[in-house]
């Protein structure tokens, strides 16, 4: 299981990448994509939408299931990844490059784990 | 007593023994005893011959009119013999929803073909596999167009009043704000529409031709809706599309309609067929089943139910609709009908219907006191004044003619390719005689 | 198989329409179609053969055993089809004067009365076109009643986690909030969870009984009482009525309204996904709110249709899927007062027999006597062999058996839900049991064979992912 050390993680299997400009990227983890199976569609919010920590902001579909993706932070969506919307397979192939949204004005954050903590968390799943 | 239970008494004993109980009643042990029913208050069961006779007697209590000059949402078109033959095949009739694709290719392909034909007919990009009827198709279209910041629906007062009623019911259920756009001279009042539309408008619903048979200025209405940022939904008569402008040509985002004219009998109102098609950009908002093409393990072409995550069995309370069972066999019927008719037959049926309606209108209007209520262009329905309406309609009835439908504004008449010039002449003559 | 668009050639077709015997009128240019109309161009022979070929690639109830749990795929009697095709029914316009449609009104009247008796309700509407449509209608009854009483704060519908997906979807369409409650370990309603869920905001509860794991909830009276005491109403999802019709009535269990699935319980065919019919029955206090028209008989025996005083509107144009109702009435007349419970009891007998035989080789999700259906869990088989419920289902296809319902209810892992129905002889059940056992053996000996199944069907496993990622939803004309 791929768990990059420079990212932070949630218990609901999202990852967060902090950028120098104070914004963050949010995506779903390798573990999540493997559990979900071949993804066929991603329902993303719109630029300008606000997201709340631990609240769903998107959903991802496989052929026979649909799952909410929760936001690890509160803030404003400044960008959505149209490439992923066009080709959800990217989440399966490169989950840590396939960010879903970029969030600015980050205020609240959910309880986040380091890579080691997340690895330990997965062990206990 | 009739029964479809094939097991013999001995077999049932063997089964009980295997289960380890003495009687079937023991299997109902978890049912509170006081709740068990002593006996149903129903007649004894009957033999097939008796049931057949009883049902035939009921059927005979109905009057079947040789000549039908009434439409208003149910149309008496000719049904080709091949349609009945195909759609009564046991495999199609008795199969379940094609979830098991490997043994359902026949159903799946027939739906794929139906979707293609509905797209051809309406000019739209994507069709679903059907909903219950034209009225619920309209109601589902409202739900499809709803967006977070656009929640108010607008519907023209000139749509079939029954459809309007169903749309109202669905909107009342989901607490959706619905505004009825008034009519002027039998058509949607474009000026009023422009004034009514707000920046939270989600969609405008229009029927073409409308309830009175009149052609709406559908392009203008669409432009007004789009200018306000709303989606445009047209409910079309599928037969008219053989020769009339398509919803896509008018700029519609969603096309819906009642598919009954495509090979389904009048049948006292059902089963009919609701068709729904839309632009590609809205395909994920379509409710109900959709069939898509794919390949099997050997690379062979095949068909499956697809984009299923929209549906209730996966998305539950967040689904685009609650629809599960649809009108699959009716969709097959429509598909076979369109295949049998072809583009040429569809154009003929449309031209014949339109021509006969105009001939009927002309003939009726030679009778003193009968005149057209509206002067707009119409397809195969029109409204006239009719003095002594009840008397005239009942005189027609006695001669085996179902006359037009009394509506607030007068009488709504309809003609299809099934009525001959002779029948139309006779109907006009009877009207003349009564009113003489 | 060729698509119908790939057959025949341009210019070909049937000769169906006569020449026009009145002056020809066509739409003016602003209303005339300019887009080319692409439709098939086939002769009648090609058309007929095309659909025969499609028909051969379909598995109907007539083609073999169909133990599809929760769907009640019973035999569809031929007499029903025959009476539904009578011109005296098919030729009636829905808007013709009621004195000329007395036969149709009598069909509605008789069917409503019979369904009311079978369900223990007071009134029935036949307008809903399908089960989910019936749910919508029943919930609208509840909503209208609560609105009428001014209880606007009742906005929540309680749904067990084992419920059909239509339940929460219908509740959402009616503007309700959904409260999911977990099931108890025995698959029944967790009374404590229910007590905790009800309150001043409860509009109602939606439930099937027998439930989706095939068990009759013995606490049913307490369940409906808890909801009623909290001021909510109880909705009965009639999907599983086949187990209890004529034996015990939802009305007597404390339910206030119910939808029927005529295409399940009352033998009307499924038509490859529809049309069905989903009548809704209710207790007297809800009857004034029913949609559509009510049919009443006057002193002279004449039938009249009229709207209910507080009707919430229409859920569909006209009176419902009438020809489906005709079929169901023929079925009810055939079975009568004894035949109806006999059917239910034999459905339960057949299911318990299959369950007793299959539990020798498979794990039951709930090891109790079942009603008309039962659920296997293939969790252990899956862990030990890698063969999933899906694989086993595909193995059944090669043996001419339609698979049971898979992966439902959601609370059971690797679920297969089996409903043999009463219309199958013991012989068919024995053959199917033998196939199930043989496939289990195969799972341990040669699991790959089941991963590869089916191999004898017109196509092999299809690529669902490709279909969803790059949707091709219609034929592209040249």
Tell me whether residue B1 is in a domain: no
pLDDT of A110 higher than 90:
no
pLDDT, position C410: 83
Which pLDDT tens digit goes with each residue over B33-53? 999 999 999 999 999 999 999
- Point out the least confidently predicted range of A107-116, C222-231, C426-435: A107-116
pLDDT, position A109: 83
C-alpha separations of C433 from C68, C122, C175, C430, C436 in Å: 15, 42, 45, 5, 5
CB contact under 8 A, C468 and A63: yes
Which pLDDT tens digit goes with each residue over B101-147? 999 999 999 999 999 999 999 999 999 999 999 999 999 999 999 99
Which of B313, B336, B359 lies at the terminal end of a domain, its last residue? B336
pLDDT, position B216: 98
Q: Does A68 touch chain B (CB under 8 A)?
A: no
CB contact under 8 A, B314 and A40: no
Instruction: State mean pLDDT over C115-121.
Output: 98
The CA distance from B254 to B126, in Å, is 10
Spatial contact of C128 and C316, defined as CB atoms under 8 Å apart:
yes
Do residues B147 and B291 share a domain? yes
Residue B260, helix vs strand vs coil? coil
Instruction: State mean pLDDT over C404-417.
Output: 91
pLDDT of C355 higher than 90:
yes
d(CA C75, nearest CA chain A) in Å: 30
C-alpha separations of B358 from B262, B362, B374, B424 in Å: 22, 6, 13, 11
Q: End-to-end CA distance of chain A: give it in Å, rounded.
A: 13
Type and span of the H or E element at B424: helix B421-435
Q: Tokens for C159?
A: 């749904």
Mutant choice from C468, C471, C472, C473 vs A, greatest count of A C-beta within 10 A: C468
* Structural domain for B45, as ranges: 9-60
pLDDT of C471 higher than 80:
yes
**Delimiting residues of CATH 3.40.640.10 domain(s) in chain C:** 79-335
Which pLDDT tens digit goes with each residue over B308-363? 888 888 888 888 899 999 999 999 999 999 999 999 999 999 999 999 999 999 99
Residues of chain C with pLDDT > 70, as a percent, come to: 100
For the entire predicted model, the pTM comes to: 0.96
Q: End-to-end CA distance of chain B: give it in Å, rounded.
A: 58
Tell me whether residue B225 is in a domain: yes
Residue of A nearest to C466 (CA): A40
Do residues B356 and B262 share a domain? no
Q: What is the pLDDT along chain B (436 residues), one digit of tens a residue?
A: 789 999 889 999 999 999 999 999 999 999 999 999 999 999 999 999 999 999 999 999 999 999 999 999 999 999 999 999 999 999 999 999 999 999 999 999 999 999 999 999 999 999 999 999 999 999 999 999 999 899 999 999 999 999 999 999 999 999 999 999 999 999 999 999 999 999 999 999 999 999 999 999 999 999 999 999 999 999 999 999 999 999 999 999 999 999 999 999 999 999 999 999 999 999 999 999 999 999 999 999 999 999 988 888 888 888 889 999 999 999 999 999 999 999 999 999 999 999 999 999 999 999 999 999 999 999 999 999 999 999 999 999 999 999 999 999 999 999 999 999 999 999 999 999 999 8
pLDDT, position B181: 98
- Give B-chain residues touching A62 at CB under 8 angstroms: 309
Q: Which chains touch C (3 or more CB pairs under 8 A)?
A: A, B
- Give A-chain residues touching B284 at CB under 8 angstroms: 41
pLDDT, position C478: 82
How many other CB atoms sit within 10 Å of the CB of residue B145?
24
pLDDT of C255 higher than 80:
yes
pLDDT of C375 higher than 90:
yes
CB contact under 8 A, C468 and A64: no
pLDDT of A108 higher than 90:
no
Instruction: State mean pLDDT over C115-137.
Output: 98
Residue B339, helix vs strand vs coil? helix
d(CA C50, nearest CA chain A) in Å: 30
Residue B79, helix vs strand vs coil? coil
pLDDT, position C162: 86
One of 3.90.1150.10, 3.20.20.60, 3.30.710.10, 3.40.50.300 is the CATH number of C340-464, namely 3.90.1150.10
**Delimiting residues of CATH 3.90.1150.10 domain(s) in chain C:** 340-464
CB contact under 8 A, A40 and C468: yes
Which pLDDT tens digit goes with each residue over C88-104? 999 999 999 999 999 99
Residue in C59, C316, C338 closest to B95 by CB:
C59
The CA distance from C57 to C55, in Å, is 5
pLDDT, position A111: 86
pLDDT, position C176: 96
Tell me whether residue B107 is in a domain: yes
pLDDT of A65 higher than 90:
no
Which pLDDT tens digit goes with each residue over C42-96? 999 999 999 999 999 999 999 999 999 999 999 999 999 999 999 999 999 999 9
Residue of C nearest to B412 (CA): C95
Confirm or reject CATH 3.40.640.10 for domain C79-335, answering yes or no: yes
CB contact under 8 A, B95 and C56: no
- Give C-chain residues touching B267 at CB under 8 angstroms: 89-90, 92, 322-323
Q: Tokens for B355?
A: 């021509």
The CA distance from C408 to B216, in Å, is 48
Architecture of domain A8-119: Beta Barrel (2.40)
The CA distance from B8 to B11, in Å, is 5
Tally of domains within chain B: 3
pLDDT, position C204: 98
Residue of A nearest to C471 (CA): A40
Tell me whether residue B289 is in a domain: yes
The CA distance from C193 to C181, in Å, is 6
pLDDT, position B312: 86
d(CA A42, nearest CA chain C) in Å: 11
Task: Give the ipTM.
Answer: 0.97
Spatial contact of B66 and B424, defined as CB atoms under 8 Å apart:
no
pLDDT of A125 higher than 80:
no
Tell me whether residue B2 is in a domain: no
pLDDT, position A6: 93
β-bridge mates for residue B276, sequence order: B256
pLDDT, position B409: 93
Domain boundaries, chain A: 8-119
pLDDT, position B128: 97
Q: Does B313 touch chain A (CB under 8 A)?
A: no
């Amino acid at each position: 299981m791929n768990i990059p050390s420079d990212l932070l993680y949630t218990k609901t299997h999202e990852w967060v990448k902090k950028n120098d400009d104070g914004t963050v990227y949010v995506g779903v983890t390798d573990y999540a994509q493997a559990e979900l199976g071949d993804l066929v569609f991603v329902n993303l919010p719109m630029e300008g939408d606000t997201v709340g920590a631990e609240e769903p902001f998107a959903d991802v579909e496989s052929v026979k299931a649909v799952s909410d993706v929760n936001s690890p932070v509160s803030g404003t969506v400044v960008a959505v990844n149209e490439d992923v919307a066009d080709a959800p397979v990217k989440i399966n192939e490169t989950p840590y490059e396939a960010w879903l949204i970029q969030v600015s004005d980050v205020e609240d954050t959910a309880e986040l784990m380091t890579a080691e903590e997340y690895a330990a968390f997965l062990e206990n799943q | 007593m009739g029964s479809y239970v094939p097991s013999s008494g001995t077999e049932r004993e063997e089964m009980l023994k295997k289960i380890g109980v003495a009687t079937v009643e023991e299997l109902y042990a978890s049912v509170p005893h006081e709740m068990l029913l002593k006996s149903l208050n129903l007649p004894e069961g009957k033999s097939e011959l008796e049931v057949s006779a009883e049902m035939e007697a009921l059927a005979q209590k109905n009057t079947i009119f040789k000549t039908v000059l009434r439409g208003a949402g149910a149309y008496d078109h000719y049904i080709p013999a091949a349609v009945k033959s195909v759609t009564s095949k046991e495999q199609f009739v008795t199969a379940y929803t094609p979830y098991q694709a490997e043994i359902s290719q026949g159903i799946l392909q027939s739906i794929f073909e139906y979707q293609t034909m509905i797209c051809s007919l309406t000019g739209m990009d994507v069709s679903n596999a059907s909903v219950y009827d034209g009225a619920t198709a309209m109601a589902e279209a409202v739900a499809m167009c709803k967006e977070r910041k656009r929640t108010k629906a607008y519907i023209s007062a000139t749509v079939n009043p029954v459809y309007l009623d169903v749309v109202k019911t669905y909107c009342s259920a989901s607490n959706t704000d619905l505004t009825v756009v008034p009519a002027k001279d039998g058509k949607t009042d474009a000026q009023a529409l422009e004034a009514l539309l707000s920046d939270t408008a989600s969609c405008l619903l229009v029927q073409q031709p409308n309830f009175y048979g009149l052609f709406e200025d559908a392009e203008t209405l669409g432009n007004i809706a789009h200018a306000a940022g709303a989606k445009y939904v047209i409910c079309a008569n599928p037969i008219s599309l053989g020769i009339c402008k398509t919803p896509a040509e008018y700029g519609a985002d969603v096309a819906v309609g009642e598919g009954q004219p495509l090979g389904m009998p009048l049948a006292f109102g059902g089963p009919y067929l609701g068709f729904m098609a839309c632009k590609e950009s809205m395909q994920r908002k379509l409710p109900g089943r959709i069939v898509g093409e794919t390949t099997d393990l050997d690379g062979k072409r095949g068909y499956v139910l697809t984009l299923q995550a929209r549906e209730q069995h996966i998305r539950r309370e967040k689904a685009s609709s609650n629809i599960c069972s649809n009108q699959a066999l009716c969709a097959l019927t429509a598909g076979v009908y369109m295949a049998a008719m072809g583009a040429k037959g569809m154009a003929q049926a449309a031209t014949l219907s339109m021509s006969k309606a105009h001939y009927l209108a002309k003939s009726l209007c030679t009778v003193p006191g009968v005149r057209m209520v509206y002067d707009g262009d119409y397809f195969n329905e029109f409204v006239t004044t009719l003095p002594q309406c009840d008397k005239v309609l009942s005189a027609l009835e006695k001669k085996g003619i179902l006359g037009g439908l009394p509506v607030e504004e007068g009488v709504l008449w309809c003609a299809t390719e099934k009525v001959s010039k002779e029948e139309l002449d006779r109907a006009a003559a009877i009207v003349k005689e009564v009113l003489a | 198989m060729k698509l119908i668009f790939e057959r025949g050639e341009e210019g070909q077709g049937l000769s169906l329409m006569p020449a026009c015997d009145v002056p020809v009128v066509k739409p003016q240019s602003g209303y005339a179609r300019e887009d080319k109309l692409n439709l098939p161009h086939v002769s009648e022979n090609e058309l007929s053969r095309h659909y025969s070929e499609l028909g051969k690639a379909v598995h109907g109830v007539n083609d073999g055993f169909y133990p599809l749990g929760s769907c009640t795929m019973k035999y569809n009697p031929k007499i029903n089809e025959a009476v539904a095709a009578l011109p005296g029914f098919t030729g009636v316009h829905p808007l013709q004067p009621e004195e000329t449609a007395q036969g149709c009104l009598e069909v509605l009247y008789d069917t409503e009365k019979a369904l009311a008796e079978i369900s223990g309700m007071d009134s029935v509407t036949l307008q809903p076109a399908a089960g989910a449509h019936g749910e919508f209608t029943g919930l609208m009854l509840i909503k209208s009643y609560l609105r009428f009483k001014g209880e606007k704060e009742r906005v929540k519908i309680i749904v067990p986690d084992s419920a059909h997906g239509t339940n929460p979807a219908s509740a959402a369409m009616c503007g309700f909030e959904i409260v999911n409650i977990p099931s108890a370990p025995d698959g029944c309603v967790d009374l404590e969870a229910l007590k905790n869920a009800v309150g001043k905001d409860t509009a109602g509860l939606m439930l099937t009984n027998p439930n989706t794991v095939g068990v009759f909830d013995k606490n049913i009276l307490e369940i409906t009482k808890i909801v009623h005491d909290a001021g909510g109403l109880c909705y009965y999802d009639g999907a599983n009525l086949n187990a209890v019709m004529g034996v015990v009535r939802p009305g007597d269990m404390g339910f206030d309204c119910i939808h029927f699935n005529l295409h399940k319980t009352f033998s009307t065919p499924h038509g490859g996904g529809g049309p069905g019919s989903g009548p809704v029955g209710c207790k007297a206090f809800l009857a004034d709110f029913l949609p559509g028209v009510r049919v009443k008989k006057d002193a002279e025996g004449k039938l009249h249709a009229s709207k209910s005083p507080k009707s919430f509107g229409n859920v569909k144009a006209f009176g419902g899927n009438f020809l489906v109702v005709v079929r169901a009435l023929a079925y009810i007349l055939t079975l009568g007062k004894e035949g109806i419970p006999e059917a239910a009891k034999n459905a339960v007998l057949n299911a318990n027999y299959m369950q007793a035989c299959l539990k020798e080789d498979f794990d039951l999700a709930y090891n109790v006597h079942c009603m008309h259906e039962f659920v296997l869990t293939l969790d252990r088989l899956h862990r030990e062999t890698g063969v999933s419920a899906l694989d086993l289902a595909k193995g059944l296809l090669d043996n001419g058996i339609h698979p049971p319902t898979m992966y439902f209810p959601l609370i059971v892992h690797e679920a297969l839900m089996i409903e043999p129905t009463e219309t199958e002889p013991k012989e068919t059940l024995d053959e199917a049991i033998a196939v199930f056992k043989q496939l289990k053996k195969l799972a341990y000996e040669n699991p790959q064979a089941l991963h590869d199944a089916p191999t004898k069907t017109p196509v092999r496993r299809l690529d669902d992912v490709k279909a969803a990622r790059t949707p091709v939803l219609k034929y592209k004309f040249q």
